Homo-oligomer: A and B are copies of this chain.
Amino acid sequence: MAELSERKKQILANVVEMYIKSGEPVGSKGLISSSGLNCSSATVRNEMNELDQMGYLLQPHTSAGRIPSEKGYRYYVDNLMPVREIDEFTKRMIDAGIAPAAGDPEKLVNRARELLADITKCAAVSTAPVGEMNVIRKIELVPVGRHTAMMVLLTSNGILKSRLCRIDTDFSVTILEQFYKISESFFIGKPSGEISPADIQTIAASVDTDYFVMLPLLAAVSDLSVSTNDSRIIIGGGANLLSRKDYGDQAIPLLEFLNRKEPLSEVIRSSKDDLNVRIGSENMFKQLEKSSVVVAKYSVNGDNSGSISVVGPTRMDYKTVISSMKYLTDLLGRLITSALEE
C-alpha cells in the first residue's frame, strides 16, 4: 500500500471523522472550515480526487461530497486514528455499572455487554468465558417444600443457573441421595452441551428408583444445562441499530441475522487478535456488508477466554468503541479471574 502524503493523511482523517460525526458526505469547503488545513478548497478538491482514484474515498453521486470507502476506514483505523485513552466519564460509568456484578463471571459479562451497548449505541455481543473444558462442576438440590426443591447448576466457567422443580412424592433423604448419586455418575464433569433430553429418559429408566420420581429432576438438570449453553453468546442493545439512520429499514434483517447466532459466532471465532476490526465486506457475510464488527478478547488467568464485540454501521465511532472495549476487556479479565480464583 503506497504511503500517503502528510496532507492526504490529514484530509482522509478529517473526512472520516467528519463523516462519522455528521453522516453527511463532506465537501471540500466544509472540510476546509472544520479543519486546520492551510490551503484552498480547490487544492483539497484535487487531493480528494486523487484519494478517490486511489480508492480511499467514494462519491455517492457526482455532485456530492466524499465519504470514506472501506479502504479509507481501514487506513484510518490502522494508521490515522488517535490512540486515545478512554475518557474519564465513560470510565466512571463502566466502573459504577460493573461493580454490583463483582464476584459472578456471568453477571460481569452481562453487565459489560449492556454497558458497551449503551456507550457505543451499537449492538454488543458477549461470549462467556470458556476454557478448553467447559463442564458441569456442581449440582445442588435443596428442598423448599414437601414436593418442591431449588436446583442449582454450576459450570466450570462460572455460569450458574437455577430453577425450581417438583416431584409428586415427598422429598426424602433417599431420593436426594439417589439424585446426587446419579448426578455424580452421569452429569458432573460432563460438557453441559452433551446432556440431551433423550439421555434423560435413558438415565431415568436405568436407575432403580421410581422412574416417575426421578424423571422431573433429571429433566430439570437437562433444562438448566441447556440454558448454560444458551447464555454463551448473547446479543444486547439490538434496538440501538434501529435508531441508526445508516441502516434505514435494513436494520430488521440485520437483527434477524444477528439473532441466528451461529454465523455471528463464526465471525467471532475467526478473530485471532486481541482486538480485531472487520469493516464492511471484510466480514464474510453479505448481511454484514454495511456493518463493522469489532471483537475484543478478554483473558482469564492469562488465557484468552471470552470476548465482547460491537456490531454497528461502518460509520461507527471507532475511537470511542475501541477505547471503551480496551478498557472493558482489561477490567473484565481481571474481575473474572479474581471471581474464579479458588
Query: Which A residues lie at the B interface, using CB under 8 A?
Result: 100-107, 137-138, 140, 142, 144-148, 150, 152, 154, 158, 160-166, 216, 219-220, 222-223, 226, 238-239, 242-243, 252, 255, 338-342
Q: Which listed residue (B101, B146, B162) contacts A162, Cβ 8 A?
A: B162
Q: Quick one: closest B residue to A164, CB to CB?
A: B104
- Report how far A106 CA is from B227 CA in the complex, Å: 14
Q: Which listed residue (B138, B162, B166, B219) contacts A338, Cβ 8 A?
A: B166
Q: A242-B252, A252-B243 are in contact. Are A103 and B150 (CB under 8 A)?
A: no
- Report how far A252 CA is from B147 CA in the complex, Å: 45
- Report how far A160 CA is from B152 CA in the complex, Å: 10
Residues of B within 8 A of A148 (CB): 103, 339-342
Residues of B within 8 A of A341 (CB): 145, 147-148, 166
- Report how far A222 CA is from B103 CA in the complex, Å: 14
A144–B137 contact, CB under 8 A?
A: yes
Q: Which listed residue (B146, B154, B165, B252) contacts A150, Cβ 8 A?
A: B154
Q: A144-B138, A255-B239, A342-B145 are in contact. Are A164 and B223 (CB under 8 A)?
A: no
A150–B152 contact, CB under 8 A?
A: yes
Residues of B within 8 A of A138 (CB): 144, 150
Each complex incorporates copies of this chain amounting to: 2
Q: A160-B163, A243-B252 are in contact. Are A100 and B219 (CB under 8 A)?
A: yes
- Report how far A120 CA is from B223 CA in the complex, Å: 25
Q: A150-B154, A162-B160, A339-B164 are in contact. Are A103 and B144 (CB under 8 A)?
A: no
Residues of B within 8 A of A165 (CB): 103-104
CB distance from A250 to the nearest CB of B (A): 12
CB distance from A228 to the nearest CB of B (A): 12
- Report how far A100 CA is from B103 CA in the complex, Å: 30
B243–A146 contact, CB under 8 A?
A: no
Residues of B within 8 A of A242 (CB): 242, 252
Q: Quick one: closest B residue to A165, CB to CB?
A: B103
Q: A252-B242, A252-B243 are in contact. Are A164 and B105 (CB under 8 A)?
A: yes
CB distance from A333 to the nearest CB of B (A): 16
- Report how far A104 CA is from B166 CA in the complex, Å: 8
A152–B145 contact, CB under 8 A?
A: no
A-B contact pairs, 24 of them (CB 8 A): A100-B222, A103-B148, A103-B164, A103-B216, A104-B220, A106-B163, A107-B164, A140-B140, A142-B152, A146-B342, A147-B341, A147-B342, A148-B340, A148-B342, A152-B162, A158-B164, A160-B163, A164-B339, A166-B338, A166-B341, A239-B252, A239-B255, A242-B252, A243-B252
- Report how far A142 CA is from B216 CA in the complex, Å: 23
B164–A160 contact, CB under 8 A?
A: yes
- Report how far A223 CA is from B161 CA in the complex, Å: 16
Q: Quick one: closest B residue to A137, CB to CB?
A: B144
Q: Which listed residue (B162, B220, B243, B255) contacts A103, Cβ 8 A?
A: B220
B166–A339 contact, CB under 8 A?
A: yes
- Report how far A142 CA is from B222 CA in the complex, Å: 21
B103–A163 contact, CB under 8 A?
A: yes
